[in-house]
Every structure is written in C-alpha cells, then in structure tokens.
Amino acid sequence: MSSALDQLRSLSTIVVDSGDLDAIARARPVDATTNPSLILKAVESENAVVAQWIEEVRGATTDVDRRRWMLGARFASRIQDDVERWVSLEADATLSFDTAATIACAETLLDEVASAGGDPRRILIKIAATWEGIRAAQVLESRGIACNLTLIFSRAQAQLCAAGGITLISPFVGRISDWHRAQGAQFDNAEDDPGVASVRGIDAWCKAHGYGTLVMGASFRNTGQILALAGCDALTIAPDLLQQLADSEQAVEPGIQRHGLSAVELAETPPDASAYALAIAEDAMAAEKLTEGIRRFAADQRALEARLQG
C-alpha cells in the first residue's frame, strides 16, 4: 500500500513549511512557505550556505531592513530550485498595520529576489491578515503580485481575502486548537478539533460562493489534523510531520468537506471595515492569536536584524 503522504499528494497540494534547505530538498514539495521564525532558526543552524549568506549580507552597505530583505530573498531564490511552483516570503510583521509600507516592502522583496537570481513570479508575498494587510494584498494582486494571507483565525478574515481576489490564504489549525485547550476544552480526535472545523468552514464558504482563492491549511500539531483536511486545496506541513506521513500506511480519505456550514453561515457576506473589526473583537481566540502571531514574528524579525548588524 502507498504511504499516507503519497495518498495525500493525490488529494491536496503538499507544501513544506520550513527554512531548512536540506529538508525542503528531501521533501519534494510543490510549494514551500517560510516566515521570520523559520529563517531565524535556519540562521542559527550550522548550514554553511546560510553562514555564507549572512557574511555577504552583513557586508552590504545598506540599512538593516534591506539586509534582512536581501537574506530572505536568498532563501526564497534557493528554495525555488527544489519546488515546482511558489515560495512564500513574508513581508515585515512590524508593518502589519501599515498598508502603504507593506506594499513598498513587498515590491522591494521581489526586487531582491530578482537580484538574487530567483523568479519574482514564483513568489507569494506573505502578509498578516489584518484589515490593513488585506488591503495591501488587494493592491499587490491588482499589480500582478500574488499573495499568501497568513494568520487566518476567523471566517471574517477569509471572507474579506476571498472577496478581494487574494491568491491563497493560510488558516491556522494548531494555534486554534492550542487556544481552546488552554481554555479547558478537551478533544481526543481531529473530528472534534476546533482548528480542523475552522478550516473546513472557511473552505466550505469560499467554495460555496465560487471564489478562486486557494485555502491552505497550516500550523499543524499532528498528522491527525492534516489527514482530517485531506482534499484541502493545499496543506503546508513541517518536515517532521511529512516524515511521519511518509512512514505511515494509513488509508487516507477526503476530509475537508465533512460537517459543512449551516444555511445561515453560508449566507454570510464579506465584512466592511467596521464589521471586520467587530468580528475580530468579538472572537477572543482570533483577536488573541492574530496579535500574538504578529508579535512573535516581529520579535524574531528583530532577532534576525541583530544577527545582520555589520
């Protein structure tokens, strides 16, 4: 029998979530996703290629922001050698509430990718799904720049992205589950997992309304969560979980469309600015996890900057 990973490949696009160049090459993914935390982890590793990049970037006669963008572009360009399609490269988390600055950052990142020998057309600019971030992504998409809206914790975020023509969204599974467990919730399997339910609901709403935005499940804690979303447009998975799936012969069946939304939920419309703000404010989990995610990425961004000081 084929492995669970091979079965999953026939149902969903497999994306590797890592900054580890060797792990990405071994995984044979269609796409890859990076973020400041993953790049920082790679910088702290013993990889000789990354160490050389650090020395080159430190020697650049430019400010630290540009150095960080240069390093990210080197990662993305190198990763493109080992994937079939896109690499997601994150705009600065510290700009998550500044539309104009996010647009400028994205365009500079693509310039740096080209300078590093990569293909800007195969980059997804990764942006936190704040109101300002989503607006920035809409402008970028109108200019032919594809985006991946990340830190999706609520259907309101996903609805706004889909209506805005965003190429891909990344609803987080594990962080939603973590929050509910921290509140005392107990669930022993993926069918009862609120993170899994959130992605299924987002996918059901997007598909019911005919939007072309791709839904990519992200932030997995175990293979059960992954397999429960088999059939999702894409799944971005850390190398250790990919290996567990490769070692398993568990039968894989489509799971994304189980337990669809109610008629009332399906009739929801994309929010305007005030409705979006209210939806996030009224959802304690989404409000907490969105700001926490930005805060963590910003902290790792600053830690990376410290490494790049000349």
Grouping H, G, I as helix, E, B as strand and the rest as coil, residue 85 is coil
Owner of token pair 């919730």: 185
**Chain centroid, CA 72 distance in Å:** 15
Characterize the bridge pairing of strands 31-33 and 13-17. Answer: parallel
C-alpha–C-alpha distance, residues 273 and 132, integer Å: 10
Radius of gyration of the chain (CA): 19
> What is the spatial distance between Cα 33 and Cα 159, in angstroms, rounded to a whole number?
22
Catalytic annotation present for 126: yes
Residue 200 CB burial class (10 angstroms; 0-12, 13-18, ≥19): buried
Return d(Cα 155, Cα 143) in angstroms, integer: 26
Side chain identity at residue 113, one-letter code = V
Tokens of 189: 């399997």
Report the first-to-last Cα separation within the chain, whole angstroms: 54
Distance CA 143, CA 134 (A): 14
Q: What is the DSSP letter of 213?
A: P
How many other C-beta atoms lie within 10 A of the C-beta of residue 29?
A: 27
Distance of CA 200 to the CA centre of its chain: 17
Q: Which residues pair with 152 in a beta bridge?
A: 171
d(CA 47, CA 54): 11
* Active site members: 126
